[in-house]
Amino acid sequence: MTIVDILFYAIFISQIFLISYHYPKKTYERNLYVLRKYPAEAYPKLYRHSKFADPGKAVHRTIRRYLYANITIAVLGLGLLTAMAASDYAPRDIKENEQIMFILLFFMVQTLPYMLLEISTHNWLKNMRNLAKNSTRKADLSPRKLFDFVPPLYLGAAILAFVIWAIYYLYNKGFTSPWDWQTYSTIVFMTSINIVFISLGYKFLRGKKLDPHQSYKDQRQLIKTTLRVFVFASILMSVQLVVFDAINQNGWDMYEPIAMSIYFQVVIIFGVGQILRMFKIEDIDFDVYKEDAWLV
């Protein structure tokens, strides 16, 4: 085994640990903390919309399943690594596309529980909004402007990263068209993803609260966290594509699976990790979920 092979195994183990154990465990503990400290009896507005007789237990079941699903995927990942080691798999020997597909597919499996939890949270908030509808409506008179939540430097960095990627990519392809379909589709993909980030960011910034009872202070903190996640995701995407282009141009294919695994881990650290760091559960105002709570 070469140093590259050992590095690949080490980084892939890190991917399994971070994405399928570390962050799911933190998410589980966070939700458990809420269930224990803010039960349905004292904070009915947090649970009232649930269709279950004991909403606390139902939520606990959901997050437990989320944790077990992640642990199962982690065990599967370790099993795959063991099989690879036993069959003397070496990244340097395998054709380029097979390596990438393996890492990419495994990452997609790892993100499945995250997506399902996100869908569950979305439905939870939607039911909360439907139940909270009444003729009285409230709004904060403080304006919400983009630079209140994201420093101009971060936005500038995201734009610069995109421009650098575009220039480097087209330089390698030749600046004059016609290009092949892959070039067009890459440009369309990158542009579309950034448009999606901008659209979602605008919706978070100027749209109404997803949680109808959330305090204005918490709403602003969530907006700040979410917008920064989008900006970092955009920067990371641009950087990742430049790295992969450089790898392809210089014939460093054996490093591609390592680079891809590192990229996915960084995405999670600056995505889920950022949300857990910036939107701490201990700082959230849960008094708004009491029966007689008024927004402050």
Interatomic CA distance for residues 187 and 175, integer angstroms: 13
Q: Which is nearer to another protein, 143 or 178 (CB)?
A: 143
Cα dihedral sign, 275-276-282-286: positive
Interatomic CA distance for residues 114 and 22, integer angstroms: 13
- 237, 192 Cβ separation under 8 angstroms: no
- 22, 61 Cβ separation under 8 angstroms: no
Cα dihedral sign, 210-214-215-217: negative
Q: Which is nearer to another protein, 204 or 232 (CB)?
A: 204
Note whether 143 binds another protein by CB under 8 A: yes
Note whether 51 binds another protein by CB under 8 A: no
Q: Which is nearer to another protein, 14 or 219 (CB)?
A: 219
Closest CA to 167 of 193, 159, 178: 159
Q: Which is nearer to another protein, 36 or 206 (CB)?
A: 206
In the complex, what is the shortest distance from the CB of residue 139 to another protein, in angstroms, rounded to a whole number? Answer: 4
**DSSP string covering 195-229:** HHHHHHHHHHHHS--SSTT--HHHHHHHHHHHHHH
3-state secondary structure 150-162: CCHHHHHHHHHHH
Binding mask 197-236 for another protein (x = CB under 8 A): ---------xxxx------x--------------------
According to CB under 8 A, which residues from 145 to 174 bind another protein? 145
Note whether 86 binds another protein by CB under 8 A: no
Interatomic CA distance for residues 293 and 212, integer angstroms: 12
Interatomic CA distance for residues 272 and 225, integer angstroms: 10
Interatomic CA distance for residues 43 and 36, integer angstroms: 11
Closest CA to 78 of 2, 25, 24, 20: 20
According to CB under 8 A, which residues from 121 to 140 bind another protein? 135-140
Q: Which is nearer to another protein, 209 or 228 (CB)?
A: 209
In the complex, what is the shortest distance from the CB of residue 160 to another protein, in angstroms, rounded to a whole number? Answer: 24
In the complex, what is the shortest distance from the CB of residue 212 to another protein, in angstroms, rounded to a whole number? Answer: 11
Note whether 144 binds another protein by CB under 8 A: yes
In the complex, what is the shortest distance from the CB of residue 53 to another protein, in angstroms, rounded to a whole number? Answer: 32
Note whether 3 binds another protein by CB under 8 A: no
- Please work out the total of residues on this chain that contact another protein, with binding judged by CB under 8 A: 17
Binding mask 245-284 for another protein (x = CB under 8 A): ----------------------------------------
Q: Which is nearer to another protein, 95 or 138 (CB)?
A: 138
* 178 prior amide bond cis, ω within 30: yes
Q: Which is nearer to another protein, 54 or 140 (CB)?
A: 140
In the complex, what is the shortest distance from the CB of residue 205 to another protein, in angstroms, rounded to a whole number? Answer: 8
> Site residues (CB under 8 A) for another protein?
135-145, 206-209, 216, 295
